[in-house]
Structure formats: C-alpha cells, structure tokens
Structure 1
Amino acid sequence: MKVKRIMANMATEELDKAEAFYGGILGLERLMDHGWFRTYGSDERMRVQVSFASQGGSDTPVPDFSIEVDDLEAALARFEEAGVAIEYGPVSEPWGVRRFYVRDPFGKLVNILQHE
C-alpha cells in the first residue's frame, strides 16, 4: 500500500470564511466544491507528511498545521492587510526556517513558514 494524499478536514458551517482566508489571503484555488464540502489547494507537488510534537519549537504552542510559502514577507503583508493578528513572529528559527503564526477563522493555529 502507498499513501497518495493526506487532507486536513475542518468542520464549519461558515464556508465563505474558508474562501476568504485560504483562497483570498493564501491564494489557494478552490479545487472541489460540493456545496457542503470545499477543498482548496494548488498544482504544487508536495510530500505526504504528518507531524507530531510536544511543542511548536521555541516554546510555542503546537500549530494545528503548517503552510510553507515561497515568500514569507509577501505572505505576512497579505495577512496584515487583511487584519489577521500575528500571534508569533515573524522570527528566524535556529533550525533554518523563518515563520509566523496566525489563527484561521475557525481558531486553528497556522504556522506560516519559509525555509531560509
């Protein structure tokens, strides 16, 4: 058996908030829409990964998930322009990433990062 994909599924009645955050700010495409279930993504090729942690590094809370971007400063500007509070960072971490934390509209802690 081979794992081909891992999807994060989050329960909400407010699908338009997902569109604004994941589509609008992060620029992900709506790949699937059944009305009651929407999937956002990109054509970017990604590794299948699941992480487990006792902390988020630098004594931060463990984020619900991480999103790697190609331009952290551009991502930061988009979140700031949208009025999304930055909960941690931006900071360059000793393990070679620059990152910041935000909460999505559903309260999930999201680690936005770029490898340095």
Structure 2
Amino acid sequence: MRATRVVANLRVADIEAAKGFYTGFLGLSTEEFNMGWVARYTSPETGANLQLVTRDATAPEDSVISVHTDDIEGAYEEARELGYEIVHPITTEAWGPRRFFVRAPDGTVLNVVNHQD
C-alpha cells in the first residue's frame, strides 16, 4: 500500500467546544468539512491538519489516524493477505469516501480511505 496522506484523528467530546483551541491557538483556521461527528481543520500557511472526532458514524471502533491512499482496493486486499484484522469492512460511505478500518499489530486502529473525486 502507498499512503498519500496521513491525518491524526483526535477524540473529543464536543467538536464545537474544542475547535476554538485548534483553529485559534494552533492556527488550523480552515475548516475543510464538519459533519457534526467529524471535522477537519487545516492551516492555510503550512498545510498541517487534524480531524476532531466525537464517535465514528458507521464503524464499530474509532480510528486514531486516517491513511489516504489512491488504491483502496489494493490496500484492502494487501491487509487481508497479510492477516491483519479488518475492524470495518471496505465500504463506500454515504458521504462519499471508500474506506476500511484495519488493526495494526500493536492494537492501533487505522482508517484507510480514498476520497473519490
């Protein structure tokens, strides 16, 4: 698999209550999207970003990072062939991206995603 971008998923109780710190103090002032349960904030100057997540809308567990890839099907097959636990099967979500969750050997859950244009 080839990762094209990695974004931290930070668990928060309330996105609206938390975003002021991340947009103001950290300078992640551009809200790329906000779906109520997940929102991505980016610095227009540096491109640094993170996602605030209250609880994943469709997966049984939350992920700690989102790993973007151009070949989601290949990544899914590779994860299965290597025997990694698939936490959330490959799915085209109602809001657009195709993704799956995989558990790393250390227990960390990753959201592997492709945003189809």
Return the offset for 1:48. Answer: 1.9
Other-structure match for 2:6: none
Q: Which amino acid aligns with 2:55?
A: Q
Distance 1:95 1:78, change over 3 A: same
Within 5 A, what are the aligned runs for 1:94-109? 94-109=94-109
**In 2, Cα distance between the equivalents of 1:53 and 1:60?**
14
Within 5 A, what are the aligned runs for 1:35-54? 47-54=47-54
**In 1, Cα distance between the equivalents of 2:115 and 2:60?**
18
Distance 1:59 1:73, change over 3 A: closer
Within 5 A, what are the aligned runs for 1:81-100? 81-100=81-100
Work out the number of aligned pairs and report it. 74
Structure 1 regions of 5+ residues with no counterpart?
1-25, 29-46
CA RMSD of aligned residues (A): 2.0
Q: Does 1:69 find its partner at 2:75?
A: no
Distance 1:58 1:111, change over 3 A: same
The one-character-per-residue Cα deviations of 1:51-70 (angstroms, maximum 9, x if unpaired) are: 11111222543211110100
Normalised to the residue count of structure 2, the TM-score between the two structures is 0.56
Q: Does the residue aligned with 1:51 lie in a helix, a strand or coil?
A: strand
Percent identity between matched residues is 27
Q: Which runs of 4+ in 1 moved over 6 A?
A: none
**In 1, Cα distance between the equivalents of 2:57 and 2:89?**
12
**In 2, Cα distance between the equivalents of 1:56 and 1:67?**
15
Other-structure match for 2:57: 57
Return the offset for 1:27. Answer: 5.0
Q: Does the residue aligned with 1:107 lie in a helix, a strand or coil?
A: coil
**In 2, Cα distance between the equivalents of 1:53 and 1:90?**
20
Q: Which amino acid aligns with 1:110?
A: L
